[in-house]
Structure 1
């Protein structure tokens, strides 16, 4: 693992914090101490805490952990209501190390049109633009062509979570090797990354690729490294919510294989993250 490596997407959870009304599950205890113990097993000391959807816009759990780790080794991506949040609150969070807001369009199965997405993203972008924050999207790859059509007008950096959440063929009929350009939205993803204002996280492959060898995600990863290696960052997605007991080390090792082959290990694990999270 390169020196100064970052885990750009992980969570802390605890049953002591109130859940959102629409929370999909009740979390176990995965506090900052547990998180850093895990990170030490893969050689990482710098983390980006991302707000879990189960807490809605109550960022208390994340902010307490971020305050404890400090802005030298931690960054935060929070959940907000752009119509009610005030700038003084955002500025206070900025001092703690918050550098982005998260918008989950995948787990909630929101129906996306170009008009509705443009309106929604503009509301978030207008709030975070003065702070130079990142807009993080959990969005399905099939919706990325719509994102491509509106991203350029937002004036903020965008990061796409979890490999772009592709809809991969089943194991039985998977092409070998997979041609990622046959996936609806992949070309638009490449276009966004090459435009320079969008990043993507290599994370949570297990949520989309049922193949134990991750052949589908591998084809996507190698092509993205080839086309836009300066816009790729690594993330573990710890503690792998709803995949309890998952061993993420094989995924970490595969990421290092892919980045080593591309000559981009230091960039993906360290330098790109430093640029993205400032």
Structure 2
């Protein structure tokens, strides 16, 4: 367990340089995490130990950027213990926040999902990044989750590499529930088969229930701060399916699994990202009407926001 005295580094990220033409619009940040080990200890079986990033830190971050809505995503360090997620949903309230939980697909009960729904959860996540599971086993999980999520109107959020996505594409295309693919659909600009992978993702987007999250360009392209390779991907995606994209900051910007050595006593610092600059870039890549669709309207529909946020802010 991380000590309660562990300092938060989330609030020390680089100053925002935000410029957006969406004054008065309620932008939704569709992928953020809360880490609060002082109140909610991390799971013993985890791959890293992040610093603290509390609801107070998250509120301050969104106030600086003028963001009015969010989707809280269960981080891997909490496993299937969704208490921190549910607490954050309570803090922010249903007008501001929705949640994406993680459960054991083989044992979760419908009544447990209903309790999460009542708390503000609107989807489940399969995080397979850095893993090499058999496609058949993953498909069994997906089919089980589909039967549980469909009655609730929830989405299935998936983080997986392009090889596994390719193996599952035919089955994902037939699902009866919305699917959200994290972080540019898992594309990596240094892949030798990038063009074919982009074509495959665009083909998958012919299925209207498939969505892609324009998030964490540092996981797709390493050329900060302007990410020109990610711009190419974003423009291709918005030209194909503007109604099936959402944006997210990936706050508080956890590091890559490639840099971890398994020593859980080390507290991992967050990336010093300028999320305001990245959001401004994404809005430029998308263009006026598409920016409003991706940043505001698509997440409102996908995550079931039905009331105005309790606190609304405007870009300055």
Q: Give the match for residue 148 of structure 1.
A: 169
Q: How far 1:141 moved relative to its partner?
A: 2.3
Q: Give the match for residue 7 of structure 1.
A: 29
Map residues 170-249 of structure 1 onto 2, 5 A cutoff: 182-212=194-224, 213-242=226-255, 243-249=270-276
5+ long unaligned stretches in structure 1 = 175-180
| Distance in 1 between residues matched to 2:186 and 2:214, nearest whole Å | 10
Conservation of the 8 A alpha-carbon contact between 2:246 and 2:294: yes
The answer as to 2:161 corresponding to 1:161 is: no
TM-score, normalised with respect to structure 1? 0.90
Indicate the RMSD between aligned Cα atoms, in angstroms. 1.8
Q: Give the match for residue 264 of structure 1.
A: 290
Conservation of the 8 A alpha-carbon contact between 1:159 and 1:198: yes
Q: How far 1:187 moved relative to its partner?
A: 2.0
Q: For residues 184 and 104 of structure 1, do their structure 2 counterparts lie closer, same or farther at Cα, with a shift above 3 Å needed? A: farther
5+ long unaligned stretches in structure 2 = 1-19, 256-269, 305-316
| Distance in 1 between residues matched to 2:272 and 2:84, nearest whole Å | 22
- CA deviation vs aligned residue, 1:193-250 (integer Å, no higher than 9, x gap): 2210011111001122111231211111000000101101010000001243222222
Map residues 116-155 of structure 1 onto 2, 5 A cutoff: 116-155=137-176
Conservation of the 8 A alpha-carbon contact between 1:166 and 1:183: no
TM-score, normalised with respect to structure 2? 0.79
Runs of 4+ in 1 over 4 A off after TM superposition: none
| Distance in 2 between residues matched to 1:184 and 1:123, nearest whole Å | 30
Q: Give the match for residue 103 of structure 1.
A: 126
Q: How far 1:186 moved relative to its partner?
A: 2.0
Q: Secondary structure of the equivalent of 2:232?
A: helix
Aligned residues: 266
| Distance in 2 between residues matched to 1:63 and 1:21, nearest whole Å | 20
Q: State the structure with bigger RCO (CA 8 A, min sep 6), 1 or 2.
A: 2
